[in-house]
Chains A and B, each alone.
Chain A
Amino acid sequence: MTQKLVIIGAGMASGRVIEQLVETSPEAFDITLFNAEPRGNYNRIMLSPVLSGEQTYADIVTHDDDWYAAHGVTCRFGEHVVRLDPEMKLVEGQNGCAPYDKLIIATGSAPFIIPVPGKELPGVITYRDLDDTNAMIEAADKGGAAVVIGGGLLGLEAAAGLAERGMDVTVLHLMGHLMERQLDEAAGYLLRKDLEGRGITIRTQASTKAIIGDGRVEAVLLESGETLPADLVVMAVGIRPETRLATDAGLTVARGIDVNAQMQTSDPDIYAVGECVEFDGHLFGLVAPLYDQAKVLARTLLGGRDAFVVKDTATKLKVTGCNLFSAGDFADGPGREDIVLRDPAKGIYKRLVIEEDRLVGAVMYGDTADGNWFFQLIKDGTEIDELRETLIFGPAFQGSATADPLSAVAALPREAEICGCNGICKGTIVDAINAGATELGAVRATTKASASCGTCTGLVEQLLQVTLGDDFAMPTAQPICGCCDFTHEDVRRLIKSQELKSQEAVWQELGWKTRNGCHVCRPAVNFYLLADWPLEYRDDPQSRFVNERKHANIQKDGTFSVVPRMWGGITNPTELRAIADAAEKYDVPTVKVTGGQRIDLLGVKGEDLPHIWADLNRAGLVSGHAYSKGLRTVKTCVGTDHCRFGTQDSTGLGIKLEQILWGAWTPHKVKLGVSGCPRNCAEATCKDVGIVCVDSGYQVGVAGAAGMDVKETERLVDVPTEAEAIEWTTAFVQLYRENARYLDRPYKWVAKVGLDWVRDRLADADERARLVAAFELSQSIYRVDPWAEHARQAERFQPLADLTLEAAE
């Protein structure tokens, strides 16, 4: 019996719970997931690289829309939960109630705001989520001075990121040295020196009195009376569990939501997990214990027995560019001895704290490679008497004459923790490798090791090397799927160079291991063949996903949507009448205007498709390809026809482009926009190709995006005439068809090959002419209406026979 499980908060802890539930027992729960942020689970540990610009949001997404859809999770993102009703077992969201059988509260933590005057001024922000990160990036783009209050991990990461983006950054820290909870004074000093070397000003023992500004933050006033000018203030002094919903619902709450070892709150049907809980007096901020909690909770929900225990955690800190490690207890005390190694020139500091012949603490700065080995000695309470002479040099120097870089990893015991985020020890990884996970991706998939923050990737690769010996080749590119040994790029190249013109030729010549591929490789190979050999090879519908084979989008209830093409978004009364008639005749439940300037008929039954198409065809309407990896729409504004600002005939150009490009298959969908002036009403600057008309001609931009990623187009070329705008656009689409990997949108492809490469190819007039000619050749086959063709074979859409009738006879 499927139970209703409602989860509040889509963070890393609840994300792991969902993973475990859907992996172990996908049918056990009907899951509804609320998240106040308008997005799902991403790897928050990696927000710092996003802030510093090394990564993008897309790189750190853990669960995307497809993942939630694939696992049947109902997502209510961007919706705050207002109230819990444990009596009625209801969660009240802003947009309505959700009943539950079991509820998980995973609201995480909220930043602590120091109660000083001016704390609510615009320009004062915290650092917790992607929105905060984006706000900082936006502020940094304007430049100026930033003051970060708090010299802990988050504050320093914010400071490093803002400095990287060119702001003038000052860090205010209340205590005597940075990160005093994780580092001793010496390591704190080295860290400070490193950060100062990057132009960050550090003020320790600095207490904030007020934030000053008229309508917006302008400066920070210190207790000492000094004022620091500031265009941005980041408050990063700490976090507290977010417990408001639990408190209001009458659950037992101390500092965090009180839970037992099964993560159950004082209400037996309500559980809590993550940074919002308090267990046995402990609060949790690092990811490793949260994942432990998630595992226990998932097992408990599925009726298993498990109990959460608090373990020692080592901290490997990621202040971008600084290597820090600390574990155990490193405070001075009677009976404690230190072993210290300093190499000032290299900026290396290591300190081991020993008590009664056992290692009790370790702090390292600059070189943290041996951290896990030390951490293991601390956890095991190993007697270090015999190792003491060379202990600080690490495992490489223990009983071995040579310092093999792999010996440190080889020397680790099976219980040694490799991946701190997921709590995966060496033995688990080695077992997985021996069981066939012989490359990094496979180890990640089977054990989750190195799948979160990624700092242990090197260690995992060394383990692969130690375990597999000569059989291990450092990873190169990934093959398309298990059916072959080639990458997408290899297959594209070989199809061209070996003149492979059929699927059978590809399977045979490239040594496919399966009879005729699978759902991953066959659609890609089908596209590569039709793009490179338009006359010799024809698109194979049986190698396309259902939508492209049916020429309609399948909906979750098995019905389809039908979207006729409206060239450039222009229609007329005859077409509208035909659409209205069809909607009535086939009982279409929903008629919707789409974002691409046309009309969507949703809820059409599969067997009605050929008939509704035939009806629409009679009024001159053809397929809008709203389902295809091909040209979708060309969005236009009214241009010079009606608009007093229009500089060119944008509607006319849009219609021409759509009539040239429609029907062509491309690696992924392609959307165009043409705006009649820089006011850009057609939103052309976030399209795959976007043309903005100006007095002097046409600005052609490419590689925009407005989906998972939002990205402005990059200027490909400015041309004076409409004919040239069409030529460049067509040539760009053909270059994309000839070179991109299947399922890469143009912006992904351009990011891989570089806009300069694209521009160089297209700037060559001969090459441009060749591309246009090649596109036209292909279009001589594909510029046809698939609806008209399918409407002629209506019987294929009907069942073969109806045996229920025979049974009745």
Chain B
Amino acid sequence: MSWIDICGTEDIPLRGARTLKTALGCVAVFRTAKDEVFAASNTCPHKGGPLSEGIVHGQSVTCPLHNWVFDLNTGQAQGEDGSIATFPVRVEAGRVLIDAAKLLARSAA
């Protein structure tokens, strides 16, 4: 694991998301009502909708294009055959850290 500090929790809107550009494409970093932070692919596997623009509810996000609902813990789409990649993140002293190993790996290879 190699943790990178990407932002403060406050930089992400409550029940909202911001994006992160990576070698694997755009990653969305979500913040729930209870200040939990999740990171997952920003791209809906259905029609490529930007998930960071979706409504964040509970520990889920709804795609803004066609309302696919993803569980942010597993990346699994509810009632659909599809899922998004999720990435390890943790919050320490109000800072959001993401595991860069997985994100940087491919470009290094």
Contact = CB atoms under 8 A, between A and B. Distances in A.
Given A542-B15, A807-B107, A802 B57 contact: no
B71 interface: no
Contacts of A522: 55, 57
Contacts of A523: 55
Interface string A494-506: 0000000000000
Interface in A756-809: 796, 799-804, 806-808
Contacts of B90: none
Interface of A: 26, 69-72, 514-519, 522-523, 541-546, 549-550, 554, 558, 796, 799-804, 806-808
B33 A807 contact: no
Interface in B4-60: 4, 6-7, 11-16, 18-23, 26, 29, 33-34, 46-48, 50, 53-60
B55 to A, nearest CB: 4
Contacts of B66: 69-71
Contacts of B85: none
Contacts of A796: 13, 18
Contacts of B86: none
A549 B52 CA distance: 12
A550 B53 CA distance: 9
B88 to A, nearest CB: 14
Name, among B53, B57, B67, the residue most crowded by chain A CB atoms within 10 Å (CB to CB).
B57
B108 interface: yes
A799 B21 contact: yes
Contact of B20 (A519, A542, A803, A808): A803
Given A542-B16, A796-B13, A515 B57 contact: yes
B21 A804 contact: yes
Contacts of B59: 515
A554 to B, nearest CB: 7
Contact of A804 (B19, B23, B29): B23
Contact of B57 (A71, A518, A800, A804): A518
A72 B15 CA distance: 28
Contacts, number: 101
Given A515-B59, A522-B57, A799-B21, 10 more contacts: A544-B55, A546-B53, A554-B65, A800-B7, A800-B12, A801-B21, A803-B4, A803-B20, A803-B21, A804-B23
30 contacts: A70-B66, A72-B47, A515-B33, A515-B59, A516-B15, A518-B62, A519-B55, A519-B62, A519-B67, A519-B69, A522-B57, A541-B16, A542-B55, A544-B55, A546-B64, A554-B50, A554-B64, A558-B48, A558-B50, A796-B18, A799-B20, A800-B20, A802-B20, A803-B22, A803-B23, A803-B103, A804-B22, A806-B100, A807-B22, A807-B103
Contact of B58 (A515, A543, A550): A515
Given A803-B103, A806-B104, A517 B57 contact: yes
Contacts of B56: 542
A801 B20 contact: yes
In the A-B complex, the 10 residue pairs with the closest CB atoms: A519-B62, A546-B64, A542-B15, A546-B53, A807-B107, A802-B21, A515-B58, A519-B55, A803-B22, A70-B66
A546 B54 contact: yes
Contacts of B33: 515-516
A543 B55 contact: yes
Contacts of A519: 54-55, 57, 62, 67, 69
B1 to A, nearest CB: 15
Nearest to A545: B64
A807 B64 CA distance: 30
A799 B14 contact: no
A518 B18 CA distance: 20
A552 B9 CA distance: 26
Nearest to A503: B33
Contacts of B100: 803, 806
A560 to B, nearest CB: 10
B51 to A, nearest CB: 10
Contact of B69 (A518, A542, A550, A807): A518
A802 B21 CA distance: 5
Given A542-B14, A796-B13, A804 B107 contact: yes
A541 B17 CA distance: 12
B58 A516 contact: yes
Contacts of A518: 55, 57-58, 60, 62, 69
A544 B104 CA distance: 34
Interface string B76-109: 0000000000000000000000001001100110
